Protein backbone atom coordinates (compact mmCIF):
# COMPACT_ATOMS: atom_id res chain seq x y z
CA UNK A 1 0.00 0.00 0.00
CA UNK A 2 2.80 2.43 0.91
CA UNK A 3 4.56 1.66 -2.38
CA UNK A 4 1.33 2.40 -4.24
CA UNK A 5 1.06 5.82 -2.54
CA UNK A 6 4.69 6.66 -3.41
CA UNK A 7 3.93 5.75 -6.98
CA UNK A 8 1.09 8.29 -6.96
CA UNK A 9 3.44 10.91 -5.48
CA UNK A 10 5.77 10.44 -8.47
CA UNK A 11 2.81 10.77 -10.86
CA UNK A 12 1.69 13.98 -9.14
CA UNK A 13 5.15 15.52 -9.36
CA UNK A 14 5.39 14.64 -13.07
CA UNK A 15 1.90 15.86 -13.95
CA UNK A 16 1.47 18.74 -16.44
CA UNK A 17 -1.64 20.32 -17.94
CA UNK A 18 -2.45 22.36 -21.04
CA UNK A 19 -5.81 23.69 -19.89
CA UNK A 20 -7.62 24.56 -16.71
CA UNK A 21 -10.13 21.71 -17.09
CA UNK A 22 -7.23 19.21 -16.91
CA UNK A 23 -6.13 20.83 -13.65
CA UNK A 24 -9.64 20.56 -12.26
CA UNK A 25 -9.86 16.85 -13.21
CA UNK A 26 -6.51 16.26 -11.49
CA UNK A 27 -7.75 18.03 -8.36
CA UNK A 28 -10.92 15.95 -8.21
CA UNK A 29 -8.92 12.74 -8.75
CA UNK A 30 -6.73 13.32 -5.70
CA UNK A 31 -8.37 15.98 -3.52
CA UNK A 32 -12.08 15.57 -4.31
CA UNK A 33 -14.68 14.24 -1.86
CA UNK A 34 -14.43 10.86 -3.61
CA UNK A 35 -10.75 11.13 -4.52
CA UNK A 36 -7.83 8.79 -3.96
CA UNK A 37 -6.65 10.57 -0.83
CA UNK A 38 -9.98 9.86 0.89
CA UNK A 39 -9.69 6.21 -0.06
CA UNK A 40 -6.15 6.02 1.33
CA UNK A 41 -7.21 7.68 4.58
CA UNK A 42 -10.09 5.18 4.94
CA UNK A 43 -7.55 2.32 4.69
CA UNK A 44 -5.58 3.72 7.63
CA UNK A 45 -7.54 1.58 10.15
CA UNK A 46 -6.52 -1.63 8.32
CA UNK A 47 -2.79 -0.87 8.37
CA UNK A 48 -0.69 -2.76 10.98
CA UNK A 49 0.29 -0.63 13.94
CA UNK A 50 4.00 -0.79 13.16
CA UNK A 51 3.31 0.74 9.67
CA UNK A 52 0.80 3.40 10.73
CA UNK A 53 3.43 6.11 11.22
CA UNK A 54 5.08 5.60 7.80
CA UNK A 55 1.69 5.14 6.15
CA UNK A 56 0.38 8.41 7.58
CA UNK A 57 3.52 10.34 6.62
CA UNK A 58 3.34 9.01 3.06
CA UNK A 59 -0.35 9.99 2.69
CA UNK A 60 0.40 13.50 3.98
CA UNK A 61 3.27 13.76 1.48
CA UNK A 62 0.88 12.80 -1.34
CA UNK A 63 -1.70 15.34 -0.14
CA UNK A 64 0.90 18.10 0.09
CA UNK A 65 2.31 17.28 -3.35
CA UNK A 66 -1.18 17.26 -4.92
CA UNK A 67 -2.18 20.60 -3.33
CA UNK A 68 1.07 22.29 -4.36
CA UNK A 69 0.74 21.00 -7.93
CA UNK A 70 -2.87 22.22 -8.21
CA UNK A 71 -2.00 25.67 -6.84
CA UNK A 72 1.02 25.99 -9.10
CA UNK A 73 -0.90 25.07 -12.24
CA UNK A 74 -3.85 27.35 -11.37
CA UNK A 75 -1.57 30.32 -10.81
CA UNK A 76 0.20 29.63 -14.08
CA UNK A 77 -3.03 29.62 -16.03
CA UNK A 78 -4.36 32.73 -14.21
CA UNK A 79 -1.24 34.78 -15.00
CA UNK A 80 -1.26 33.50 -18.57
CA UNK A 81 -4.86 34.59 -19.06
CA UNK A 82 -4.07 38.01 -17.55
CA UNK A 83 -1.15 38.52 -19.92
CA UNK A 84 -3.27 37.41 -22.84
CA UNK A 85 -6.02 39.85 -21.88
CA UNK A 86 -3.50 42.67 -21.70
CA UNK A 87 -1.41 41.98 -24.78
CA UNK A 88 -3.46 39.55 -26.83
CA UNK A 89 -6.64 41.61 -27.37
CA UNK A 90 -5.83 44.06 -30.15
CA UNK A 91 -9.26 45.69 -29.83
CA UNK A 92 -8.40 47.08 -26.40
CA UNK A 93 -7.84 50.87 -26.29
CA UNK A 94 -4.27 52.05 -25.95
CA UNK A 95 -2.76 53.55 -22.85
CA UNK A 96 -4.13 57.08 -22.40
CA UNK A 97 -1.73 59.96 -22.86
CA UNK A 98 -1.45 62.56 -20.13
CA UNK A 99 -3.14 65.74 -21.34
CA UNK A 100 -0.75 68.65 -21.15
CA UNK A 101 -1.49 72.22 -20.16
CA UNK A 102 -1.15 75.41 -22.16
CA UNK A 103 0.68 78.41 -20.81
CA UNK A 104 -1.76 81.10 -19.63
CA UNK A 105 -0.20 83.53 -22.13
CA UNK A 106 -0.97 81.07 -24.95
CA UNK A 107 -4.50 80.52 -23.64
CA UNK A 108 -5.28 84.25 -23.70
CA UNK A 109 -3.46 84.93 -26.97
CA UNK A 110 -5.26 82.13 -28.80
CA UNK A 111 -8.61 83.29 -27.47
CA UNK A 112 -7.95 86.85 -28.68
CA UNK A 113 -6.93 85.53 -32.11
CA UNK A 114 -10.08 83.42 -32.28
CA UNK A 115 -12.32 86.37 -31.39
CA UNK A 116 -10.86 88.70 -34.04
CA UNK A 117 -10.65 85.97 -36.69
CA UNK A 118 -14.46 85.76 -36.58
CA UNK A 119 -14.68 89.30 -37.94
CA UNK A 120 -12.06 88.93 -40.65
CA UNK A 121 -8.76 89.78 -38.96
CA UNK A 122 -5.75 87.71 -39.97
CA UNK A 123 -2.54 87.23 -37.97
CA UNK A 124 0.75 88.90 -38.92
CA UNK A 125 4.15 88.44 -37.33
CA UNK A 126 7.50 90.18 -37.51
CA UNK A 127 11.05 90.12 -36.09
CA UNK A 128 11.75 90.83 -32.44
CA UNK A 129 15.06 92.49 -33.37
CA UNK A 130 14.02 95.65 -35.20
CA UNK A 131 15.49 98.76 -36.78
CA UNK A 132 14.75 102.34 -35.81
CA UNK A 133 12.57 103.00 -38.85
CA UNK A 134 9.99 100.29 -38.22
CA UNK A 135 9.94 100.66 -34.44
CA UNK A 136 9.97 104.46 -34.17
CA UNK A 137 10.37 106.73 -37.19
CA UNK A 138 7.66 105.26 -39.41
CA UNK A 139 5.28 105.47 -36.45
CA UNK A 140 5.58 109.26 -36.27
CA UNK A 141 8.40 109.14 -33.71
CA UNK A 142 11.35 110.90 -35.38
CA UNK A 143 14.73 111.16 -33.70
CA UNK A 144 14.72 113.17 -30.44
CA UNK A 145 10.92 113.01 -30.28
CA UNK A 146 10.02 113.26 -26.56
CA UNK A 147 7.59 110.34 -26.82
CA UNK A 148 10.56 108.01 -27.32
CA UNK A 149 11.32 108.50 -23.64
CA UNK A 150 8.02 106.75 -22.84
CA UNK A 151 9.60 103.49 -23.98
CA UNK A 152 12.92 102.51 -22.40
CA UNK A 153 14.60 100.62 -25.22
CA UNK A 154 17.10 97.77 -25.30
CA UNK A 155 19.64 98.60 -28.00
CA UNK A 156 21.72 95.82 -29.54
CA UNK A 157 25.46 96.28 -29.11
CA UNK A 158 24.98 100.01 -28.50
CA UNK A 159 23.84 100.46 -32.10
CA UNK A 160 21.08 103.12 -32.09
CA UNK A 161 19.59 101.62 -35.24
CA UNK A 162 19.28 98.01 -34.00
CA UNK A 163 17.04 97.31 -31.03
CA UNK A 164 14.60 94.92 -29.42
CA UNK A 165 11.12 96.00 -30.45
CA UNK A 166 9.21 97.93 -27.81
CA UNK A 167 5.79 97.17 -29.32
CA UNK A 168 4.27 95.06 -32.08
CA UNK A 169 3.30 98.21 -33.98
CA UNK A 170 6.51 97.57 -35.93
CA UNK A 171 4.80 94.48 -37.39
CA UNK A 172 1.93 96.69 -38.57
CA UNK A 173 4.40 98.98 -40.36
CA UNK A 174 5.94 96.04 -42.18
CA UNK A 175 2.52 94.69 -43.07
CA UNK A 176 1.37 98.02 -44.53
CA UNK A 177 4.59 98.29 -46.54
CA UNK A 178 3.95 94.91 -48.17
CA UNK A 179 0.15 94.82 -48.47
CA UNK A 180 -2.40 97.12 -50.05
CA UNK A 181 -5.66 98.11 -48.36
CA UNK A 182 -8.10 96.84 -47.31
CA UNK A 183 -5.97 95.68 -44.36
CA UNK A 184 -7.38 93.91 -41.34
CA UNK A 185 -4.75 92.25 -39.17
CA UNK A 186 -3.70 91.60 -35.58
CA UNK A 187 -0.07 91.25 -34.48
CA UNK A 188 0.59 89.22 -31.33
CA UNK A 189 4.12 88.87 -30.01
CA UNK A 190 6.76 89.45 -27.35
CA UNK A 191 8.13 92.94 -26.75
CA UNK A 192 10.94 94.31 -24.60
CA UNK A 193 11.38 97.40 -22.45
CA UNK A 194 14.17 98.31 -20.07
CA UNK A 195 12.04 98.46 -16.93
CA UNK A 196 12.50 97.32 -13.35
CA UNK A 197 11.06 93.86 -12.72
CA UNK A 198 8.33 93.71 -10.08
CA UNK A 199 5.06 91.95 -9.37
CA UNK A 200 3.27 94.20 -11.88
CA UNK A 201 5.90 94.81 -14.60
CA UNK A 202 8.64 92.94 -16.43
CA UNK A 203 11.42 93.70 -18.91
CA UNK A 204 9.63 91.55 -21.49
CA UNK A 205 5.92 90.98 -21.96
CA UNK A 206 3.40 90.17 -24.68
CA UNK A 207 1.16 92.40 -26.75
CA UNK A 208 -1.43 92.03 -29.43
CA UNK A 209 -2.12 95.00 -31.66
CA UNK A 210 -4.84 95.36 -34.28
CA UNK A 211 -5.01 97.41 -37.47
CA UNK A 212 -7.82 98.13 -39.90
CA UNK A 213 -7.22 100.29 -42.97
CA UNK A 214 -9.79 100.87 -45.71
CA UNK A 215 -11.83 103.59 -47.33
CA UNK A 216 -14.20 105.39 -45.00
CA UNK A 217 -13.06 103.81 -41.72
CA UNK A 218 -14.33 105.89 -38.79
CA UNK A 219 -14.01 106.12 -35.04
CA UNK A 220 -17.47 104.56 -34.78
CA UNK A 221 -16.07 101.42 -36.48
CA UNK A 222 -13.30 101.33 -33.90
CA UNK A 223 -15.69 101.61 -30.98
CA UNK A 224 -17.99 98.91 -32.32
CA UNK A 225 -15.05 96.55 -32.87
CA UNK A 226 -13.84 97.07 -29.31
CA UNK A 227 -17.38 96.65 -27.98
CA UNK A 228 -17.57 93.28 -29.72
CA UNK A 229 -14.17 92.22 -28.36
CA UNK A 230 -14.86 93.09 -24.71
CA UNK A 231 -18.20 91.30 -24.81
CA UNK A 232 -16.66 88.14 -26.25
CA UNK A 233 -13.52 88.22 -24.10
CA UNK A 234 -14.82 89.28 -20.72
CA UNK A 235 -18.58 88.97 -20.99
CA UNK A 236 -18.71 92.71 -20.25
CA UNK A 237 -20.54 94.92 -22.73
CA UNK A 238 -20.13 98.31 -21.07
CA UNK A 239 -17.03 100.25 -22.16
CA UNK A 240 -15.85 103.84 -22.20
CA UNK A 241 -13.16 105.65 -24.19
CA UNK A 242 -11.09 108.36 -22.50
CA UNK A 243 -9.01 110.85 -24.52
CA UNK A 244 -5.31 110.04 -24.50
CA UNK A 245 -2.14 110.51 -26.54
CA UNK A 246 -0.17 108.15 -28.77
CA UNK A 247 2.22 109.46 -31.45
CA UNK A 248 0.92 107.10 -34.14
CA UNK A 249 -2.83 107.69 -33.68
CA UNK A 250 -4.96 110.84 -33.76
CA UNK A 251 -7.35 111.06 -32.04
CA UNK A 252 -6.25 108.56 -29.38
CA UNK A 253 -8.09 106.98 -26.47
CA UNK A 254 -7.74 104.63 -23.52
CA UNK A 255 -10.37 101.91 -23.34
CA UNK A 256 -11.97 100.98 -20.01
CA UNK A 257 -14.37 98.12 -19.42
CA UNK A 258 -16.87 98.21 -16.57
CA UNK A 259 -15.83 95.27 -14.42
CA UNK A 260 -18.23 95.87 -11.57
CA UNK A 261 -17.90 95.95 -7.78
CA UNK A 262 -19.35 92.61 -6.77
CA UNK A 263 -16.38 91.27 -4.79
CA UNK A 264 -13.48 92.56 -2.74
CA UNK A 265 -11.16 91.61 -5.60
CA UNK A 266 -13.19 93.84 -7.93
CA UNK A 267 -12.63 96.76 -5.56
CA UNK A 268 -8.89 96.14 -5.51
CA UNK A 269 -8.53 95.74 -9.28
CA UNK A 270 -10.60 98.79 -10.15
CA UNK A 271 -9.54 100.91 -7.16
CA UNK A 272 -13.14 101.21 -6.13
CA UNK A 273 -14.38 102.68 -9.43
CA UNK A 274 -15.64 99.54 -11.14
CA UNK A 275 -13.77 100.56 -14.32
CA UNK A 276 -10.68 98.73 -15.57
CA UNK A 277 -8.31 99.99 -18.27
CA UNK A 278 -7.55 97.27 -20.82
CA UNK A 279 -6.03 98.89 -23.92
CA UNK A 280 -5.15 101.95 -25.96
CA UNK A 281 -6.53 102.80 -29.38
CA UNK A 282 -7.09 105.53 -31.94
CA UNK A 283 -7.36 106.49 -35.58
CA UNK A 284 -4.12 105.89 -37.50
CA UNK A 285 -2.23 109.14 -37.96
CA UNK A 286 -2.11 110.15 -41.66
CA UNK A 287 1.68 110.52 -41.39
CA UNK A 288 1.97 106.84 -40.50
CA UNK A 289 -0.07 105.82 -43.54
CA UNK A 290 2.09 108.03 -45.76
CA UNK A 291 5.31 106.60 -44.31
CA UNK A 292 4.07 103.10 -45.17
CA UNK A 293 3.20 104.01 -48.77
CA UNK A 294 -0.58 104.31 -48.32
CA UNK A 295 -2.48 107.32 -49.67
CA UNK A 296 -3.82 109.06 -46.54
CA UNK A 297 -6.23 111.12 -48.65
CA UNK A 298 -7.97 107.98 -49.88
CA UNK A 299 -7.67 105.62 -46.90
CA UNK A 300 -8.15 105.85 -43.15
CA UNK A 301 -7.82 103.33 -40.41
CA UNK A 302 -7.85 102.54 -36.73
CA UNK A 303 -5.42 100.71 -34.46
CA UNK A 304 -5.52 99.29 -30.95
CA UNK A 305 -3.15 97.45 -28.64
CA UNK A 306 -3.36 95.54 -25.38
CA UNK A 307 -1.09 93.58 -23.06
CA UNK A 308 -1.70 89.83 -23.12
CA UNK A 309 0.05 89.36 -19.78
CA UNK A 310 -2.20 91.88 -18.08
CA UNK A 311 -5.34 90.20 -19.38
CA UNK A 312 -3.99 86.80 -18.24
CA UNK A 313 -3.39 88.18 -14.75
CA UNK A 314 -6.88 89.62 -14.76
CA UNK A 315 -8.79 86.58 -16.02
CA UNK A 316 -6.94 84.02 -13.90
CA UNK A 317 -6.44 86.19 -10.80
CA UNK A 318 -2.65 85.74 -10.91
CA UNK A 319 -1.05 88.02 -8.28
CA UNK A 320 2.48 88.28 -9.74
CA UNK A 321 3.51 88.72 -13.40
CA UNK A 322 6.82 86.97 -12.69
CA UNK A 323 4.95 83.69 -12.25
CA UNK A 324 4.30 83.69 -16.01
CA UNK A 325 8.01 83.25 -16.79
CA UNK A 326 9.25 81.06 -13.92
CA UNK A 327 8.26 77.75 -15.61
CA UNK A 328 6.94 76.24 -12.38
CA UNK A 329 5.15 73.08 -13.50
CA UNK A 330 2.81 73.23 -10.48
CA UNK A 331 1.63 76.64 -11.66
CA UNK A 332 1.34 75.74 -15.34
CA UNK A 333 -0.61 72.51 -14.74
CA UNK A 334 -3.56 74.58 -13.52
CA UNK A 335 -4.34 75.88 -17.00
CA UNK A 336 -6.44 73.63 -19.20
CA UNK A 337 -8.01 75.16 -22.28
CA UNK A 338 -9.37 74.31 -25.70
CA UNK A 339 -7.45 77.23 -27.18
Domain map of the chain by residue range? 2-88, 104-332
Strands 183-192, 122-123: pairing kind: parallel
Written as tens digits, the pLDDT of the chain (339 aa) is 677 777 778 887 777 777 777 878 877 877 777 777 777 777 767 777 777 777 778 778 878 888 888 888 777 766 655 545 555 566 767 777 777 788 899 999 999 999 999 999 999 999 999 999 999 999 988 877 776 766 688 888 777 789 899 999 999 999 999 999 999 999 999 999 888 888 888 899 999 999 999 999 999 999 999 999 999 999 888 999 999 999 999 999 999 999 888 888 778 778 889 898 999 999 999 999 999 999 999 999 999 999 999 888 888 888 888 899 888 888 888 876 655
Give start and end residues of each alpha helix (H) in the chain: 2-14, 20-31, 36-42, 49-83, 104-117, 132-135, 169-178, 219-234, 264-270, 286-291, 308-316, 329-332
Burial of 163 (0-12, 13-18, 19+ CB in 10 A): buried
CB atoms within 10 A of CB 183: 20
CA distance 245 to 250: 8
CATH T-level fold of 104-332:
BirA Bifunctional Protein; domain 2 (3.30.930)
Amino acid sequence: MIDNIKKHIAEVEAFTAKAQDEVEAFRIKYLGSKGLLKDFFSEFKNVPNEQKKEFGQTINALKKAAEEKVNFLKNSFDSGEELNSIYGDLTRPGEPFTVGSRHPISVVKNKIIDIFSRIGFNVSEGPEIEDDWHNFTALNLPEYHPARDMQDTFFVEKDPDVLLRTHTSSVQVRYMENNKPPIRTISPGRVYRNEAISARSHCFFHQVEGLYVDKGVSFADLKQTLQYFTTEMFGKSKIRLRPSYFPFTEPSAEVDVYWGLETETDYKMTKGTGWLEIMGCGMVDPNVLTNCGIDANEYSGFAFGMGIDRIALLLHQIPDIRMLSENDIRFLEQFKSAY
